[in-house]
Amino acid sequence: MIDKRIVYFILAAFITGTILLVFIQFNSAKNINALISGNEKLLNEFNVSNELKELESDVLSIESRIRGAVSINDSTMIIGLAQKTAEIRDDISKLQKVTDDDSSIRYIDQLEILVNLKLEFSQQIIDSFRMSGKTAAERVIRTKKGVVLTEGITDLVNKADRSRKKLLREVTMTIDDSGKKALRFSLILIIFVLISAAVLFWYIINIQ
């Protein structure tokens, strides 16, 4: 008849092992979820950064085309600007969805104001050009309002981008930490399985 102490020992080992396995599995799952979440945030950061640069590029593109049209007195260069304007508004709309960083939210709100002012000013130049010709449009351009707005937009884009890069570093550190923890718990699980196998092997040999 098997000694009750051995039975109790096996039962205690089984319960302890089960609890330990559940604990390890729980922590592994938690760290894996953190990795997945971190990767999603990382992808989002790249998207936000691209949208900021795209917004800046679109604004500069409109300004360049309008100045070029006025400079050479060619209204065909401003054909299709309505579509580009719509793209800019779409860029701003996408950026407005950012809600994970107070600094970014503040910069994007300010950016929206300046971009709208810039679009209004650009339309003012276009209207002057179409209705009164090159000289009238150049007079509007010489007010330098457009330059000031463009510089303000570029400055805010850079500030928002720096803010996002700071957040990106934090996300990267979180991913790195979660990865290390997941690896650590995986190693613990492997060690536990090996020790359990060794103990079981020893028990089988010595029970004879």
CB atoms within 10 A of CB 168: 18
Residues in contact with 25: Cβ distance below 8 Å, sequence separation at least 6, in sequence order? 189
- 19-23, 81-85, 200-204: segment of lowest average pLDDT: 200-204
The string of pLDDT tens digits covering residues 122-143 is: 889 988 988 888 888 889 888 8
- CA 64, CA 150: separation in Å to the nearest integer? 11
CB atoms within 10 A of CB 180: 11
Mean pLDDT of the chain: 79
Specify the higher pLDDT residue, 206 or 121.
121
- CA 70, CA 125: separation in Å to the nearest integer? 9
Could you tell me what percentage of the chain is helix, strand and coil, using 3-state DSSP and rounding each to the nearest 5?
90, 0, 10
The string of pLDDT tens digits covering residues 138-191 is: 898 888 888 899 999 999 888 888 877 777 777 677 777 767 777 776 777 777
Confidence of residue 204 (pLDDT cuts 50, 70, 90): low
The CATH number linked to 141 is 1.20.120.1730
Give the domain range for residue 174. Answer: 4-206
Number of domains observed in the structure of the chain: 1
- CA 20, CA 148: separation in Å to the nearest integer? 64
65 with 123: CB under 8 angstroms? Answer: no
Q: Which helix (H) or strand (E) holds 207?
A: none
- CA 40, CA 42: separation in Å to the nearest integer? 5
The string of pLDDT tens digits covering residues 90-117 is: 888 888 877 666 777 888 888 889 999 9
Would the pLDDT of 1 be above 50? no
**DSSP string across 168-183:** HHHHHHHHHHHHHHHH
